[in-house]
């Protein structure tokens, strides 16, 4: 038996590396791949060179208890791993809260094939660490920097080196301003999606002259200005826009620009908690965004009858409408939505105190094809964005 085993191993060792790589690719489970790598040093080398992704075992989909649940990966360990797996295309360091800039330095030598990089909640990664990424990872198309301590300088280095960047997450990067955004929009001309949520120093003007490829923007809890709104839609290709929770930082009239010619491609708008938006803004947007399919107007308390009538008359492609907590929606407003909005399939309606139960009943009878949902949805961003 031992002779047979030795003969089999000897035969395998005579195969060239490309054949061994093909064998490795046929393994479906990670257990089989790890077992394959334990055969001998040569096969371990094949395993190392064929590994395309590296992800540490902490998921921050909920982003809670960050310090307590953070992954304890130091610079020495990461240095060894990056040297070992030199063909990585995806690297996730989410939750490595104590990882210093020094831990990313080997990316300068072995990051050329990297397409996807997650640095979410890497609190100690600064511009210095981002400079290593910029030097060694020119092929990056997806970068997530959620809560990283970076500034405009680091973002500019990244933007100038990673010209193929498509998706960028800057959520809670509180030091980023419009200068950093401008570097991204000027250099990354195939950018399609960007998150700037909770970046209070960004006013929006940095987006002026952005590429038409920019189709998705998450900008909730930002202090956007009217000129910034003009910059955001200046590319003309925007399809999804989230500017929710702007009630305390921008006058509603600033959003009227969305309906003035450059928002014609917009399919989904999230205006949740934009309390200062009035009828004039709603009328302008309902007329100027003919492709609009979903509109979240929950808690937009200043929209009156004229606004609801305009939506019913002009939003001919709208399929989903969120009106939770809209104090200005009354029976006549609901009637306008019922008689218009011919493609409406779902309406989210709760806490509308001026809407009577009779009006709801009549709506159900007249529009049996529309589902009335007694729930509130916070996120309406299409799932295909920010998916590497």
CATH code for position 308:
3.80.10.10
Q: Are residues 231 and 194 in the same domain?
A: no
Number of domains composing the chain: 3
Q: What is the pLDDT of residue 262?
A: 92
Angstrom distances, CA of residue 330 to CA of 17, 202, 355, 375: 72, 36, 5, 19
Regarding whether 185 and 75 lie in a shared domain, the answer is: yes
**Average pLDDT estimate for 301-306:** 96
Answer whether residue 221 is part of any domain. yes
**Residue 278, domain member (yes or no):** yes
Asked whether 254 and 280 are in contact (CB, 8 A), the reply is: no
3-state secondary structure the chain: CHHHHHHHHHHHHCCCHHHHHHHHHCCCCHHHHHHHHCCCHHHHHHHHHHCCEEECCCCCCCCCCHHHHCCCCCHHHHHHHHHHCCCCCEEECCCCCCCCHHHHCCHHHHCCCCCEEECCCCCCCCHHHHHHHHHHCCCCCEEECCCCCCCHHHHHHHHHHCCCCCEEECCCCCCCCHHHHHHHHHHCCCCCEEECCCCCCCCCHHHCCCCCCCCEEECCCCCCCHHHHHHHCCCCCCCEEECCCCCCCCCHHHHHHHHCCCCCCCCEEECCCCCCCCHHHHHHHHHHCCCCCEEECCCCCCCCHHHHHHHHHHCCCCCEEECCCCCCCCHHHHHHHHHCCCCCCEEECCCCCCCCHHHHHHHHHHCCCCEEECCCCCCCCCCCCCCC
Q: Are residues 218 and 357 in the same domain?
A: yes
Please report, rounded to a whole number, the percentage of residues in the chain having pLDDT higher than 70.
82
The set of residues, in sequence order, having a beta carbon less than 8 Å from that of 298 and lying 6+ positions away, is 272, 273, 322, 323, 324, 325, 326, 348, 376
Please check whether residues 236 and 376 belong to one and the same domain: yes
The pLDDT confidence band at residue 21, using thresholds 50, 70 and 90, is: low
User: How would you classify residue 212: left for phi > 0, otherwise alpha for psi between -120 and 50, otherwise beta?
Assistant: alpha
**Mean of per-residue pLDDT scores for the chain:** 88
Residue 377 has pLDDT above 90, yes or no: yes
Give the model's pLDDT for residue 63.
Answer: 45
Instruction: Work out the pLDDT band at 10, boundaries 50, 70, 90.
Output: low
Q: Is the pLDDT of residue 137 over 90?
A: yes
**What's the average model confidence in pLDDT over 306-320?**
98
Q: Is residue 63 part of a domain?
A: no
Q: Do 211 and 194 belong to one domain?
A: no
Query: Is the pLDDT assigned to residue 245 strictly greater than 70?
Result: yes
**Cα torsion 321, 327, 330, 333: sign:** negative
52 pLDDT tier (thresholds 50, 70, 90)? confident
Looking at the fold, whether 195 and 227 belong to one and the same domain comes out as no
pTM of the model: 0.88
Shared domain for 223 and 363, answered yes or no, is yes
Are 347 and 289 within one domain?
A: yes
Q: What is the pLDDT of residue 388?
A: 81
Q: What is the predicted pLDDT for the residue at 18?
A: 62
The whole-number pLDDT of residue 22 equals 62
pLDDT tens profile 164-213: 999 999 999 999 999 999 999 999 999 999 999 999 999 999 999 999 99
Q: What is the mean pLDDT of residues 287-292?
A: 98
- One domain for residues 148 and 230: no
Q: What does the alpha-carbon distance between residue 184 and residue 210 come to, in Å, rounded to a whole number?
A: 9
Residues 90-103, mean pLDDT to the nearest whole number: 93
Give yes or no: residues 198 and 225 share one domain: no
Domain containing 37: what range? 16-50
Domain's final residue, options 202, 221, 245: 202
Q: Is the pLDDT of residue 65 over 50?
A: no
Task: Say whether both 181 and 247 belong to one domain.
Answer: no
């Amino acid at each position: 038996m031992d002779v047979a085993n030795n003969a089999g191993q000897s035969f395998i060792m005579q195969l060239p590396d490309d054949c061994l790589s093909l064998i490795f690719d046929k393994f479906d489970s990670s257990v089989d791949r790890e077992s394959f790598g334990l055969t001998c040093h040569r096969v371990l080398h094949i395993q190392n060179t064929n590994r395309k992704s590296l992800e540490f075992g902490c998921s921050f989909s909920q982003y809670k208890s960050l310090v307590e649940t953070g992954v304890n990966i130091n610079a020495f360990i990461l240095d060894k791993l990056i040297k070992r797996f030199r063909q990585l295309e995806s690297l996730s360091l989410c939750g490595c809260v104590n990882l210093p800039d020094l831990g990313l330095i080997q990316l300068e030598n072995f990051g050329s094939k990297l397409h996807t990089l997650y640095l979410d909640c890497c609190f100690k990664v600064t511009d210095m660490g981002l400079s290593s990424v910029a030097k060694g990872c020119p092929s990056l198309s997806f970068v997530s920097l959620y809560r990283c301590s970076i500034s405009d300088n680091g973002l500019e280095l990244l933007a100038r080196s990673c010209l193929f960047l498509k998706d960028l997450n800057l959520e809670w990067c509180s030091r980023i301003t419009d200068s950093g955004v401008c570097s991204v929009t000027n250099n990354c001309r195939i950018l399609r999606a960007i998150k700037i949520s909770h970046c209070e120093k960004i006013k929006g003007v940095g987006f002026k002259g952005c590429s038409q490829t920019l189709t998705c923007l998450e900008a909730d809890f930002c202090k956007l200005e009217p000129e910034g709104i003009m910059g955001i839609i200046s590319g003309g290709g925007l399809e999804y826009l989230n500017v929710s929770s702007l009630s305390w930082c921008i006058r509603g009239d600033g959003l009227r620009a969305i309906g003035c010619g450059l928002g014609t491609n917009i399919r989904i708008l999230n205006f949740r908690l934009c309390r200062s938006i009035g009828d004039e803004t709603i009328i302008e947007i309902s007329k100027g965004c003919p492709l609009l399919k979903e509109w979240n107007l929950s808690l937009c308390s200043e929209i009156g009858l004229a606004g609801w009538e305009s939506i019913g008359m002009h939003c001919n492609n709208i399929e989903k409408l969120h009106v939770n907590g809209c104090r200005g929606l009354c029976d006549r407003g609901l009637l306008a939505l019922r008689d218009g909005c011919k493609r409406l399939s779902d309406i989210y309606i709760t806490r509308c105190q001026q809407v009577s139960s009779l009006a709801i009943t009549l709506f159900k009878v007249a529009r049996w094809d529309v589902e009335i949902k007694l729930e509130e949805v916070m996120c309406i961003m299409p799932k295909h964005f920010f998916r590497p």
